[in-house]
Amino acid sequence: MEKSGTTVSRWIDGVLEKNELIDQDSNLKAMVFWGHAPNSQTRGLEMKKAFDKLDLLVVIDPYPSATAAMAAMKTDGQQLNPNRTVYLLPASTQFETSGSVTASNRSLQWREKVIEPLFESRTDQMIMYQLADKLGFGKQLVAKLKLVPGKNGMLEPEPESMLQEINRGCWTIGYTGQSPERLKAHMRNMHLFDVKTLKCLGGKDPVSGYDLTGDYFGLPWPCYGTPELKHPGSSNLYDTSKHVMEGGGNFRANFGVERDGVSLLAEDGSYSKGADITTGYPEFDHILLKKLGWWDELTEPEKKAAEGKNWKTDLSGGIQRVCLKGHGVHPFGNAKARAVVWNFPDPVPLHREPLYGTRPDLVAKYPTHDDKKAFWRMPTLYKSVQNRNVEAKLYEKFPIILTSGRLVEYEGGGEETRSNPWLAELQQDNFVEINPKAASERGIRDGEYVIVSTPTGARIKVKAMVTPRVGPDTAFIPFHFSGWWQGKDLKEYYPEGAAPIVRGEAVNTATTYGYDSVTMMQETKTTICNIEKFVA
């Protein structure tokens, strides 16, 4: 349990890799897909093999998703595990429960339940609690939570107390000041916030009497301290032109105070507006607070909680309160920006050619990383794959660089948005963007079906969009589609009435091997392909 886990991008290797090469007792035998789209993950052909080899597959989702269709699909030459069991468990949508949600700008909103959960669906918190209870740690999971009646009188954690539990624990990232009460006050008074700056220039919530002045809408994290401290949230990170209690900040002293004899702390004169310390300083703990003479600014209960602790482990919030409100300094310290990341494979970013590319001359000049033996529990290949591809001259057979990305019409794996008739009408087919020069050389006309083939052996059928938006050596396919498998419509494999309105090829059926050397993020942006006219 103490080892680094397996990222979602590598679960298929956890199933298929030779057991002696995996840093755990056995290969993966069961998978739970909870709100996850398989077509958003690369190496689709191998994923299908992994699905077929599992003993247990559980899909928890408002929609069956492509997972269900892929699991049921029969393909030539692939053997289904005769002992495999597949469960489809219906989850509620966001409209069938209340709770907090976080946007990409780090602001939180409180959503209200619109309708009760439909049919047999259950809320995520109910499913989580019931699963934990079956596994024997349900009481521990909800020890600090209030339980309320949910579907059919079954108990589930109350959303308000769930956020309060998050507030109590997420000190390091500033997910602590956004109480349900503060978020609800923001939602009731959205008209008081500036739509550009997000700041409330003045006004009180008529229900609670809470003064919203100075708050940023949704209290974007980091929002430090307890809710009672009333930190306004941080609309922009590292803004030294503002006081820390106005959302200002500086770089965190997260890597010690010096390295190789060189100070990592901020230079003199670099500090947040109004700070009592105008030089660099380390993270705060009980010792530093005492050295500065600030210890007695804590209450007696806070002293008891903070003794022997630092700003991250003092759950009273006292150290943070004294630093932020009392002295205008950040509890996480004040350091220089870390431009040399010494614990990364490339401390300063270097260009490295992708594993699958069209330029062997650049591979020779900018090779990838060496293979890693037990990285995130399993081998991760780099140079061996790249060198093999160059030796096989794959760039001759697959001369076009293939990349993937998003569309404005659909979201994520697209199962829900492609089931919406108004959105489905806007984009009815998956497509490949191909340059007019490349299209002309292949006799391809705009709107015709084409076959996109890749080194995996995949051959996906999409429509051609002939456009100069891509160069002659590049093609683009959006990733929001599923429901076809190499030209075959999978509608028959969805539960009755559950297939999306728009179905199409998943680009990730065709994508190839490749993973980031730090995060294990999959390679979705660069592989190679060929495009040919479809002949019925």
The pLDDT assigned to 344 comes to: 93
CATH number at residue 412: 2.40.40.20
Given a contact cutoff of 8 angstroms between Cβ atoms, the answer to whether 274 and 328 are in contact is yes
Across-strand partners of 30?
Answer: 56
462: closest CA among 512, 532, 378, 383?
532
Q: List CB contacts of 498: < 8 A, sequence separation 6 or more.
A: 63, 64, 68
Amino acid at 110: W
Indicate if 398 and 488 belong to the same structural domain. Answer: yes
Query: Tens of pLDDT along 203-229?
Result: 999 999 999 999 999 999 999 999 999
533: closest CA among 459, 482, 472?
459
Asked if residue 75 has pLDDT above 80, the reply is: no
Mean pLDDT of 285-310: 96
The pLDDT assigned to 329 comes to: 97
3-state secondary structure of 41: coil
Across-strand partners of 12?
Answer: none
Q: What's the residue count for the chain?
A: 536
3-state secondary structure of 400: strand
Task: Provide the percentage of residues in the chain whose pLDDT is more than 70.
Answer: 100
In a domain, 119, yes or no: no
Q: Which has more confidence, 287 or 151? A: 287
Query: Tens of pLDDT along 329-362?
Result: 999 999 999 989 999 999 999 999 999 999 999 9
Structural domain including 318 reads 252-336
The pLDDT assigned to 65 comes to: 80
Amino acid at 50: A
In a domain, 35, yes or no: no
What's this model's pTM, rounded to 2 decimal places? 0.90
Task: Provide the percentage of residues in the chain whose pLDDT is more than 90.
Answer: 87
Distance CA 151, CA 140 (A): 22
Q: List CB contacts of 295: < 8 A, sequence separation 6 or more.
A: 286, 289, 303
In a domain, 422, yes or no: yes
Q: List CB contacts of 20: < 8 A, sequence separation 6 or more.
A: none
Indicate if 371 and 516 belong to the same structural domain. Answer: yes
The pLDDT assigned to 103 comes to: 92
Asked if residue 474 has pLDDT above 80, the reply is: yes
Given a contact cutoff of 8 angstroms between Cβ atoms, the answer to whether 286 and 293 are in contact is no
The pLDDT assigned to 458 comes to: 97
Asked if residue 483 has pLDDT above 80, the reply is: yes
For residue 81, name the pLDDT band (cuts at 50, 70, 90): confident
In a domain, 68, yes or no: no
In a domain, 148, yes or no: no
Asked if residue 444 has pLDDT above 90, the reply is: yes
Distance CA 529, CA 196 (A): 43
Indicate if 313 and 259 belong to the same structural domain. Answer: yes
Asked if residue 35 has pLDDT above 80, the reply is: yes
Given a contact cutoff of 8 angstroms between Cβ atoms, the answer to whether 152 and 169 are in contact is no
Indicate if 303 and 425 belong to the same structural domain. Answer: no
Given a contact cutoff of 8 angstroms between Cβ atoms, the answer to whether 475 and 441 are in contact is no
Indicate if 329 and 472 belong to the same structural domain. Answer: no
For residue 4, name the pLDDT band (cuts at 50, 70, 90): confident
Asked if residue 76 has pLDDT above 80, the reply is: no
Mean pLDDT of 47-58: 94
Indicate if 456 and 520 belong to the same structural domain. Answer: yes
Indicate if 382 and 486 belong to the same structural domain. Answer: yes
Indicate if 409 and 478 belong to the same structural domain. Answer: yes
In a domain, 295, yes or no: yes
Mean pLDDT of 196-201: 94
The pLDDT assigned to 392 comes to: 97
Indicate if 512 and 430 belong to the same structural domain. Answer: yes
What is the total count of domains within the chain?
2
For residue 3, name the pLDDT band (cuts at 50, 70, 90): confident
Beta strands in 49-133 (DSSP E): 56-61, 85-90, 99-102, 108-111
The angle formed by the CA atoms of residues 397, 399 and 402, to the nearest 5 degrees, is 115
Indicate if 373 and 432 belong to the same structural domain. Answer: yes
Asked if residue 366 has pLDDT above 80, the reply is: yes
The pLDDT assigned to 473 comes to: 97
Given a contact cutoff of 8 angstroms between Cβ atoms, the answer to whether 99 and 159 are in contact is yes
The pLDDT assigned to 177 comes to: 95
231: closest CA among 210, 218, 215?
215
In a domain, 456, yes or no: yes
Q: Kindly state the DSSP code that residue 255 receives in the 8-state scheme.
A: S
33: closest CA among 6, 9, 7, 57?
57
The pLDDT assigned to 271 comes to: 94
The pLDDT assigned to 368 comes to: 97
The pLDDT assigned to 221 comes to: 93
Mean pLDDT of 379-389: 96
Mean pLDDT of 415-425: 94
The angle formed by the CA atoms of residues 93, 98 and 103, to the nearest 5 degrees, is 80
In a domain, 490, yes or no: yes
Indicate if 407 and 479 belong to the same structural domain. Answer: yes
Indicate if 313 and 269 belong to the same structural domain. Answer: yes
For residue 2, name the pLDDT band (cuts at 50, 70, 90): confident
The pLDDT assigned to 239 comes to: 93
Q: Are strands 85-90 and 56-61 parallel, antiparallel or unpaired?
A: parallel
Write down the mean pLDDT value for the chain: 94
For residue 454, name the pLDDT band (cuts at 50, 70, 90): very high
The pLDDT assigned to 479 comes to: 95
At which of 303, 336, 369 does a domain end?
336
Query: Tens of pLDDT along 488-508?
Result: 999 999 988 889 999 999 999
The pLDDT assigned to 374 comes to: 77
Distance CA 184, CA 218 (A): 9
